[in-house]
């Protein structure tokens, strides 16, 4: 992926120089609220319940790799701003409000619950910020077998796609319905949310390449491989479990690849209506 030497985003909140502190005690009401947030937003809230680290004030040294990762994320985020700003104006007659992306190491706080390496990257609609521990890129490459700059860009673009859903009113409505649904029904809606985000990621990739010429040979294959490695069925098999579709919250490997490809090939958000699709 060609990304060096291009504009970086100013919408980065870098918390990586802060070391971890510890959560205070939670009453029963607070514990139930945290559990509800974790269930509906798909966030690992265990550290909040156990008093694990959630933030602090001591400085942490950043490595050269940390700095490079921040530069990469900044440029990728800027690309999403340019692409989605243009799409909103041209296709929707609307103004795109860019998201803030929080970089952290190990653990930090968000209104949606604890953000840690265990949660993976996520978007919090309560503060309209995306959260990313750049060490996840190493996890993606070394533990999940999805290396490469464009695999990492796909991860960033997927989380920004959730903000796009939020801007369009899709995410809020979907989560409202989830709160009134059974666990199985809620999971099924979550799958449609995530697959649409994959499709939006493909739309972004198509337009980013047309605008910046950023995609090199093998880049799309990296994104497709990343989508495969983080499919629910693949993750469950790799964990030694039998895939259980009723527990899926993000979609199978095949579904994630297919919806990313649909967005990339069409370049249109109209191709990403997972909620009306009879088959995913």
Predicted pLDDT at 106: 85
Tokens, residue 44: 């690992």
Query: Which is it for strands 12-14 and 107-110: parallel, antiparallel or unpaired?
Result: unpaired
State the Cα–Cα distance between residues 52 and 191, nearest whole angstrom. Answer: 29
How far separated are the first and last CA of the chain, in Å rounded? 29
Predicted pLDDT at 159: 97
Please determine, for residue 56, whether its predicted confidence score (pLDDT) is greater than 80.
Answer: no
Query: How does DSSP classify residue 105?
Result: S
Choice among 54-58, 153-157, 226-230 with the minimum mean pLDDT? 54-58
Cβ proximity of 22 and 51 under 8 Å:
yes
Please determine, for residue 32, whether its predicted confidence score (pLDDT) is greater than 90.
Answer: no
Predicted pLDDT at 115: 80
Residue 76: alpha-carbon gap to chain centroid: 13
Q: What is the pLDDT of residues 235-244, one digit of tens each?
A: 999 999 999 9
State the Cα–Cα distance between residues 24 and 26, nearest whole angstrom. Answer: 7
DSSP output for 224-239: HHHHHHTSHHHHHHHT
Give the burial string for 202-215 (b: 16+ CB within 10 Å, else e).
bbbbbbbbeebebb
| CA-based nearest residue to 210, from 106, 97, 46, 86 | 86
Domain ranges of the chain: 12-272
Question: Mean per-residue pLDDT for 120-146?
Answer: 92
Percent of the chain having pLDDT more than 90?
A: 71
> Please, what is the Cα angle at 189 between 156 and 86, to 5 degrees?
40
Confidence of residue 39 (pLDDT cuts 50, 70, 90): very low
DSSP H helices in the chain = 28-41, 46-50, 64-87, 136-142, 149-167, 170-179, 183-212, 219-229, 232-238, 253-266
Tell me the residue length of the chain. Answer: 280
Question: Mean per-residue pLDDT for 106-134?
Answer: 89
Confidence of residue 43 (pLDDT cuts 50, 70, 90): very low
CA Rg, the chain, in Å?
Answer: 18
Please determine, for residue 228, whether its predicted confidence score (pLDDT) is greater than 70.
Answer: yes
Choice among 44-48, 192-196, 219-223 with the minimum mean pLDDT? 44-48
Question: Mean per-residue pLDDT for 46-51?
Answer: 43
**Global model pTM greater than 0.95:** no
Find residue 103's DSSP bridge partners: 14, 132
């Amino acid at each position: 992926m060609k990304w060096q030497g291009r504009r970086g985003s100013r919408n980065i909140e870098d918390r990586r120089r802060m070391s971890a502190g510890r959560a205070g005690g939670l009453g029963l009401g607070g514990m139930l609220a945290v559990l509800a947030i974790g269930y509906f937003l798909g966030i690992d809230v265990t550290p909040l319940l156990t008093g694990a680290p959630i933030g602090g004030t001591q400085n942490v040294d950043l490595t050269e790799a940390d700095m490079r990762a921040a530069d990469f994320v900044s440029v990728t985020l800027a690309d999403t701003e340019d692409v989605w700003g243009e799409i909103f104006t041209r296709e929707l007659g609307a103004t795109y409000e860019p998201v803030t992306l929080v970089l952290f190491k190990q653990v930090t706080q968000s209104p949606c619950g604890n953000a840690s390496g265990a949660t993976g990257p996520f978007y919090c609609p309560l503060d309209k910020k995306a959260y990313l521990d750049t060490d996840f890129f190493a996890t993606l490459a070394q533990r999940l077998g999805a290396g490469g700059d464009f695999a990492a860009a796909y991860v960033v673009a997927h989380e920004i796609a959730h903000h796009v859903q939020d801007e369009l009113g899709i995410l809020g409505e979907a989560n409202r319905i989830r709160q009134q649904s059974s666990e199985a029904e809620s999971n099924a809606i979550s799958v449609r949310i995530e697959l649409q985000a994959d499709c939006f990621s493909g739309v972004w990739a198509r337009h980013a390449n047309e605008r910046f010429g950023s995609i090199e040979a093998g880049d799309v294959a990296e994104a497709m491989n990343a989508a495969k490695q983080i499919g629910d069925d693949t993750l469950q098999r790799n964990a030694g479990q039998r895939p259980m579709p009723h527990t899926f919250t993000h979609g199978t490997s095949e579904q994630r690849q297919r919806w990313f490809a649909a967005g990339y090939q069409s370049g249109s958000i109209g191709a990403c209506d997972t909620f009306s699709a009879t088959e995913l």
